[in-house]
Amino acid sequence: ATPMSIMTATGRGAQAGVLIKDAEALERMAKVDILIVDKTGTLTEGKPALTDVVTFGNVSEEAMLAMVRGIEAGSEHPLAEAIVEGIEAKDIAAAPITSFEAITGKGVQGTSGKQKIALGNAAMMDVAGADHKAADKQADALRVQGKTAMYIAIDGKLAGLIAVTDPIKATSRDAIAALHEAGLKIIMATGDNEKTARAVADQLGIDEVRAGVLPEDKKALVDELHAQGHKVAMAGDGVNDAPALAAAEVGIAMGTGADVAVESAGVTLLKGDLTGIVRARKLSVATLSNIK
Ligand code: ADP
Ligand code: MG
């Protein structure tokens, strides 16, 4: 493409809040045949709200939530923010936390007083050495509603279950439909549970779901599709999406997400609206056809 046609296209994109990094990103976008999308913060608002709290054993709900609030205060995950706000709304103060560790794609753990607390998915319970079987039925019932259910363990024993719901962005459905019309296959890759992921994917008409994936798995998925001869775009918002964004032909970051995602991306959607991908694709096709 000529420098002039590239400038025109990137200028049009920028006006619509679609930042295209360079000529390569613009040109590659037309050749993409598969889009991988992260769920949380990309297809969904990334603004979940706390909906359910269940306790097991003899811990009080208030004591458990105080520790959960304390521990999530140290996490930057969108789930953590939702959980903190939901507990604050119940007027339960944070318990003091003396040690804290976030485990990407799994959850958080730490110490409060003499007790150890862990919160997250099934993989996080494995880290904490807690058996979560007693909570699975209730967790699955929440997940088929599209909610994200997380286990809580205290001192290595299952103590509770909390769930949040993260609304699907109003624009996601139209964007997915338009990308289908443009001939793209859409794969959702998420660290979230299979049941939650399917409930969300089904509402959006997404072709394939890869659930329970760790950050390195997202990058491995890009590699797998490359080996099959596909050209891949990957859209994500999180720190853990950065390796896959960098590996894809076109990395697409949400301007509302983590800085490192933006740095790894060829395209940034300032408004975090997936219809920007449709626009980037059209600009790319138009630029390439201009120069035959
Ligand atoms: P996604 O790929 O959908 O953005 P992540 O890979 O960031 O999701 O997280 C995967 C799962 O790990 C979450 O669904 C949740 O169960 C658990 N998790 C991660 N961080 C936290 C946290 N701070 N608090 C509770 N659970 C967490
Ligand atoms: Mg995410």
Ligand 2 mean position, distance from CA 7 (Å) = 31
| Alpha carbon distance 47, 223 (integer Å) | 30
Residue located nearest, by CA, to atom 21 of ligand 1: 107
Q: Burial of 57 by CB count in 10 Å (0-12 exposed, 13-18 middle, 19+ buried)? A: exposed
pLDDT of residue 1: 75
Instruction: Enter the tokens of residue 290.
Output: 């201009």
* pLDDT, tens digit only, all 292 positions of the chain: 788 899 999 999 999 999 999 999 999 999 999 999 999 889 998 889 999 999 998 899 999 999 999 999 999 888 899 999 999 999 999 999 999 999 988 999 999 999 999 999 999 999 999 999 999 999 999 999 999 999 999 999 999 999 999 999 999 999 999 999 999 999 999 988 999 999 999 999 999 999 989 878 999 999 999 999 999 999 998 778 899 999 999 999 998 877 888 888 999 999 989 999 999 999 999 998 875 4
Q: Which ligand is nearest to the CA of 39?
A: 1
Q: Is the CB of 108 under 6 A from ligand 1?
A: yes
Contact between 151 and 55 under an 8 Å Cβ cutoff? The reply is no
| Residue from 198, 196, 201 nearest 121 by CA | 196
Ligand 1 mean position, distance from CA 28 (Å) = 31
Pocket test for ligand 1, best of 42, 64, 119, 150 (most atoms within 8 A of CB): 150
Q: Is the CB of 48 under 6 A from ligand 1?
A: no
Q: Is the CB of 37 under 6 A from ligand 1?
A: no
pLDDT of residue 2: 85
Cα torsion angle, 62, 64, 66, 69, sign: negative
Q: Which of 38, 166, 217, 273 is catalytic?
A: 38
Pocket test for ligand 1, best of 192, 206, 256 (most atoms within 8 A of CB): 192
Ligand 1 mean position, distance from CA 91 (Å) = 25
pLDDT of residue 259: 87
Domains of the chain, start order: 3-45+168-290 (3.40.50.1000), 49-165 (3.40.1110.10)
Ligand 2 mean position, distance from CA 38 (Å) = 6
| pTM score | 0.86
Q: Is the CB of 132 under 6 A from ligand 1?
A: no
Please give the number of the atom of ligand 1 that sits closest to the Cα of 192: 14
pLDDT of residue 214: 85
Instruction: Enter the tokens of residue 41.
Output: 């913060």
Contact between 279 and 252 under an 8 Å Cβ cutoff? The reply is no
Residue whose tokens read 């060829």: 266
Please state, as a whole number, how many other Cβ atoms lie within 10 Å of the Cβ of residue 229: 7
Q: Give, in degrees to the nearest 5, the angle at Cα 69 between 261 and 215.
A: 25
Q: Is the CB of 238 under 6 A from ligand 1?
A: yes
Annotated catalytic, 192?
Answer: no
pLDDT of residue 229: 98
Residue located nearest, by CA, to atom 24 of ligand 1: 107
Q: Is the CB of 38 under 6 A from ligand 1?
A: yes
CA distances from 129 to 71, 92, 153 (A): 18, 27, 9
pLDDT of residue 291: 59
Q: Is the CB of 40 under 6 A from ligand 1?
A: yes
Residue located nearest, by CA, to atom 12 of ligand 1: 106
